[in-house]
Amino acid sequence: MLRQPFFISCAVSTAVVLILGWMLGAPVPSVSEQRFRQHVHLDRMLDQPAALTAVDRPLAEVLQTLAERHAVPIFIHPDDLLGRQTVTIDVRGVRLRSLLSLILEPHDLEFAVQEQQVTVSPLGWLDESPTRLIARVYPLPQPPLAWSGMNEEDWWEIVYTVIAPYSWDYSGGGASCERYPGALVIVHLPEVHQQITELLAHLEACRQNPDPTATIRLTNFAESHFEQRLQRILAQPCQVELFRADLATALEYLSRQLDVPIVVSLNLRYHAALQEPATVTVSSQGDPLSRVLIEILTPLELTFRVRRDCIEIVPLLDVAFEREYRLYPVGDLIGDGKGNRIQELSALLSRFVELPNFAGAAKRSIQVWALGDRMLLVAATAEAHDRAQRLLADLRARLIGLSPPMNPAERLIQATLDQPADLEFLDAKLPSVVAWIEQTYGLPLEIDPQILAGPPVKITCRAQSDRLRDALRTMLGSFDLDYVVLPDRVLVTDLRGVVEYLRPQCFDVRPLIDPDAGVMTGPTLRVFLRDACKGNSSFFDAWIFDGILVVCALGVQPPRVAEILERLTNRQDRLPRDREFSAAYRLQQMAEPAASTSDQGGTLRQAYFDALHAAMEDNHAN
């Protein structure tokens, strides 16, 4: 890592002079600034479109060709670095910088803009050069323009956390970031300064065009127009017909037919799917390309990501735990900021966004920081961010008295699942059962590829119910299977899949826990629901934020929780009041003392819950 204390002290001294000049409003000439501008000019030349087709061509020859074709000086350091390395690649529609990375990484080489040239060196060499460190001053928005109450400490937190997190002095690196009133002074490599400049410009653009509910990505926030084009192509419908093709052939076919660069990650050089090719069969008549790729790659434990202007094929685990940073404006949820609401919301996301594992304990790979009084910085996987956005959208809807947002397809699925059903099968294969249910009830069903890749499932059962959702769960439960409702379909899966798609649900319980007109406190309601659902759930957690109950349960469907809350609300005028019941019960216990004080608390709670259940059942019978 960067370890140059003497140079850093000189750079910081230069930065102090820059600060004084900036504060006095006078321009101060700076060699560092001139070097940075030269770096930016050459760096922009690396954004030229590039293409290359090569089969076992010497790496030195390829670099010379690229230098001449794009008028970019490429210098090899040390001189004898390149030996017999060869390049085999066929890629087009990418930037020159991405192409250089693709041909250098397999040989443990890297490049950087240095001294008005592109220098190619062994991996890690360039970071050790003290002459590449540059000091810069970054003025920050000042009141009344300061964004969401953020101060220098909050901006420092963003830079340290998001930009090259392992290169700073606090983690053993040589880069530094100092806070001064109204500014940050940063000593780092030119390419990192460019990232910081893009980050601050991106945040300033968001401040000038505020959307109180828009999530701001801080990972790949400056993605190229090449990558934006790929994202659009991935969302477009495509027609693909592949029958028993090996993976390499299938990817080459997609790349040429759709004119998209698809490359295989270095981590897959020895992957079984490439060493002993598995066959790929897929038929798509209008599905998005992203879904076609998932259908091809998931059974092979592979996936894809957009990176370096390409669609990169990578092992599933490489992406599953890859975290990205996003800013969440939450001022509309915080309100006047009284109390510690920003911390409550931070704790809520930490608790409910990450999935429970199979033991029932929540994973905590998500990190949430409160910045100012109206902004959250969240580090999590892309999937966890999707959950966070849905949870915040549900909270916003409930707080203004609306149902959580649901697209028309999902609304139709929920209505179909509430139809009466009679399912009877004898030794029928699961795909045939799914096809029959689709045709009979019009329910868009899909089988998890991991289930299809496992042993065949044959179903013999009779499941009859007033609701298709219950009959379906009874039928699948006999084979340790279940289903989850997705925005556009119902997925038949196992416990792993159910956990993967588990989604917190929001319910407005303000009438029940209102301090004046309600029947119980928030904590009592949470415990009561957990007690009422414990027979059906292997995992149950609940949280109340500003009168909105957030529930995450494994094995308990949202209609069950909604039914309990509806019965409580409808019977509210006859339910025993928490405080009144407690006072009366304690008077009774004083007349007939219980065995121990600890038992009294548990007995009191159970007695109150029994009274609630009795009132609910009476209401249900009526």
- Summarize pLDDT for 530-564 with one digit per residue, the tens: 877 765 555 678 889 999 999 887 655 566 788 88
The answer to whether the bond into 144 is cis (omega within 30° of 0) is yes
Confidence band (pLDDT; 50, 70, 90) for 436?
very high
pLDDT at 59: 92
Q: In the predicted model, what is the mean pLDDT of residues 53-68?
A: 92
Distance from C-alpha of 100 to C-alpha of 110, rounded to nearest angstrom: 8
| Least confident piece of the model among 54-58, 216-220, 379-383 | 216-220
Name the pLDDT band for 597 (thresholds 50, 70, 90). very low
Q: What is the pLDDT of residue 73?
A: 92
What mean pLDDT is predicted for residues 142-149? 56
DSSP element (H, E) containing 66: helix 59-70
Q: CA-to-CA distance for 231 and 220, rounded, in angstroms? A: 13
d(CA 210, CA 205): 8
- pLDDT reported for residue 461: 86
Cα 239 to the center of its chain, rounded Å: 29
Provide the β-strand partners of residue 482.
493
- Among 5-9, 419-423, 504-508, the range scoring the smallest mean pLDDT is 5-9
Judged against a pLDDT cut of 80, whether residue 509 lies above it is answered with yes
HSE, side-chain direction, 13 A CA sphere, residue 433? 22
User: Mean pLDDT throughout 151-174?
Assistant: 81
Is the pLDDT at 316 greater than 70, yes or no?
Answer: yes
Closest CA to 268 of 304, 219, 236: 304
Looking at residue 608, what is its pLDDT? 74
Q: Where does residue 152 rank: exposed (0-12), middle (13-18), buried (19+ CB within 10 A)?
A: middle
**What whole-number distance in Å separates Cα of residue 544 and Cα of residue 549?**
4
> Which range is least confidently modeled, 279-288, 352-361, 536-545?
352-361
**Range 290-315 average pLDDT:** 86
The reported pLDDT for the residue numbered 50 is: 92
Instruction: Categorize the per-residue pLDDT at 31 as very low, low, confident or very high, splitting at 50, 70 and 90.
Output: low
Q: Provide the 3-class DSSP secondary structure of residue 318.
A: helix
| CA angle, residues 369, 373, 374, in degrees to nearest 5 | 85
pLDDT bin (cut points 50, 70, 90) of residue 210 is low
Please determine, for residue 503, whether its predicted confidence score (pLDDT) is greater than 50.
yes
How buried is 236 (Cβ within 10 angstroms: 0-12 exposed, 13-18 middle, 19+ buried)? exposed
Contact residues for 61 (Cβ-Cβ < 8 A; gap 6+): none
8 Å CB contact between 441 and 419 = yes
Q: How confident is the model at residue 280 (pLDDT cuts 50, 70, 90)?
A: confident
* pLDDT band with cut points at 50, 70 and 90 for residue 437: very high
Write down the pTM of the prediction.
0.69
Mean pLDDT of 78-87: 81
pLDDT score for 358: 42
The model's confidence at residue 599, banded by pLDDT at 50, 70 and 90, is very low
Q: What is the pLDDT of residue 4?
A: 44
Region 103-122: mean pLDDT is 85
> What is the predicted pLDDT for the residue at 338?
59
CB atoms inside a 10 Å sphere around CB 368: 20
What's the confidence (pLDDT) of residue 584?
59
Q: Is the pLDDT of residue 315 over 80?
A: yes
Other C-beta atoms closer than 10 Å to the C-beta of 124 total 10
The pLDDT of residue 248: 84
Q: 490-493 and 445-447 as β-strands: parallel, antiparallel, unpaired?
A: parallel
User: Is the model more confident about 560 or about 250?
Assistant: 250
CA atoms within 13 A on the CB side of 69: 13
Q: Say what the pLDDT of residue 5 is.
A: 46
Please give the residue that has the higher pLDDT: either 12 or 571. Answer: 571
Q: Is pLDDT of 282 > 80? A: yes
Q: pLDDT at residue 235 above 60?
A: yes
Give me the pLDDT at residue 220, please: 65
Sign of the dihedral through C-alpha 291, 292, 295, 300: negative
C-alpha angle 17-21-22 in degrees, rounded to nearest 5: 115
Q: CB 167: neighbour CB atoms within 10 A? A: 19
The rounded distance, in Å, linking the Cα atoms of 589 and 583 is 10
Residue 248: helix, strand or coil by DSSP? Answer: helix
The β-bridge relationship of strands 279-288 and 134-139 is: unpaired
Q: Mean pLDDT for the chain?
A: 78
Helix (H) or strand (E) holding 36: helix 31-45
Residue 1 C-beta-side C-alpha neighbours within 13 Å: 15
pLDDT at residue 212 in the model: 66
Packing angle between helix 468-477 and helix 408-417, nearest 10 degrees? 80
